[in-house]
Amino acid sequence: MIYYPKAVGSVAHDTKSIQDAIDVAARSGGGMIYLSSGVVYRCGTLILRSHITLHLENGARLEASGSIADYKQIAELDADENCSEETPVLRKPSFAFLYAYDADSVAISGDGIIDGNCFQFVKRVNPYHCKGDFQPRPTLLYLEKCNNLVVRGVTLQNSPFWSLHMAGCDTVLVSGITINNPLDVANSNGIDPDHCTNVRISGCHISCAGDGICLKNTKANAEYAPTSGVIISDCTLVSTSAALKIGTEGWNDFSDILVHHCILKGSNRGISIQVRDVGSVYNIHFSDILIETRLFSSDYWGKAEAIALTSFNRDEQTTSGAITGVTFTRITCRGESGIFIASDGDKIRDIVFDKVSLTLQKTSKWPLAGYDLRPRQEEPHCLERPVDALYVLNSGPIMLVDVTAVVSEGQDFGSAFSQEHSTVLGSVVCPP
């Protein structure tokens, strides 16, 4: 059946109207909740149920309340002694706008807009950076233990924190969605599959000040299977952090992941595999990707690396996992840094670069500043040295097959290739 909730623009009324429709449909075995074109629905937390489709017609707008009093608390609040900007990534979200738990065959579809009202939850620190005014900031969509999950077509925007966080889900399709978050609202990640399996993400456009697509294995959701069986394709990504990332939260292994036919533009990092916890990363394949990077404010992790593979201990109690069996094929990189590979031990090996081209050229006002190692137990957190097209530290074997580099002269870049305490097989060719 199809249900048409009535909206009057009142948070209390619209929340009840939509939630009542969801609950009635669920008791009947499922149905579609249809949000009509030209209508703005203003709501607090909405809880989705099994076999429910929330459909937003083109021109419909579902807007989150700017008051935390309208949100349902779904997990433990941070205590004063451990409350900080980073705590929402270490625990389950305390608040979410759209929430589902143990709900199978949930779908969110249509051409309408879901708006997180982010500026009610952040404050401006400087011209380039807004951070949390309220902690923990609410997640826009948090869907946990939901199998056969579909998110298709909708636009997500102005998220206060992560936009689409899926935890412990199996058989997930995210197709053709758009995520438009301000490029100065920190931690506004696009899509975060966390302990998810059999995931397909395709045809999406994401622009945000957090990681664009970021695979996670958070400690808070360690009860679920490790993230594996992921295909990401035909996406366009813009990020003031990393456009495509595995980590940083990695309390289990990541494996069997394909990423192909994507364009990453205007990002502070292109592809980042960032291991800081005990989980390892293996059997990952990237192919047919265009990467363009640029420097941003140091408020954001990264120094415009096109590709960054790092494994460092997060703290004294943690030994970070390994990165092995990763291939990069037909990758074109252009920007203010190149490929950076580093670990604090023999943790990165059996990496292959095949038909990879690198062009280093200055495009932003920010000065070249070496390599960003954050987060990391040991100092330094920034490695100040010339920026090379390819720099490898404490890693190997690394295989180079048909790798070329063009390094612009007179712009304080380093060389095409350098390595320290590493094993690199092959060479970087500099065309005349």
Give me the tens of pLDDT residue by residue for the chain, a chain 432 residues long: 999 999 999 999 999 999 999 999 999 999 999 999 999 999 999 999 999 999 999 999 999 999 999 999 999 886 655 555 455 567 899 999 999 999 999 999 999 999 999 999 999 999 999 988 777 899 999 999 999 999 999 999 999 999 999 999 999 999 999 999 999 999 999 999 999 999 999 999 999 999 999 999 999 999 999 999 999 999 999 999 999 999 999 999 999 999 999 999 999 999 999 999 999 999 999 999 999 999 999 999 999 999 999 999 998 899 999 999 999 999 999 999 999 999 998 999 999 999 999 999 999 999 998 999 999 888 888 899 999 999 999 999 999 999 999 999 878 899 999 999 999 999 999 998
**d(C-alpha 59, C-alpha 38), whole Å:** 5
Beta bridge pairs of residue 392: 341, 419
**d(C-alpha 30, C-alpha 28), whole Å:** 6
Domain count, the chain: 1
Domain with 346, as residue range(s), is 2-429
**d(C-alpha 259, C-alpha 232), whole Å:** 5
Helix (H, G, I), strand (E, B) or coil at 185: strand
Instruction: Report the candidate in 339, 416, 324, 397 with the shortest Cα–Cα distance to residue 371.
Output: 339
Q: Strand (E) positions, 153-301?
A: 155-157, 164-167, 170-175, 178-180, 191-194, 197-202, 205-208, 213-217, 228-233, 236-239, 242-250, 254-267, 269-275, 281-293
Residue 234: CATH number of its domain: 2.160.20.10
Question: How many residues are recorded in the chain?
Answer: 432
Chain centre to alpha carbon of residue 288:
20
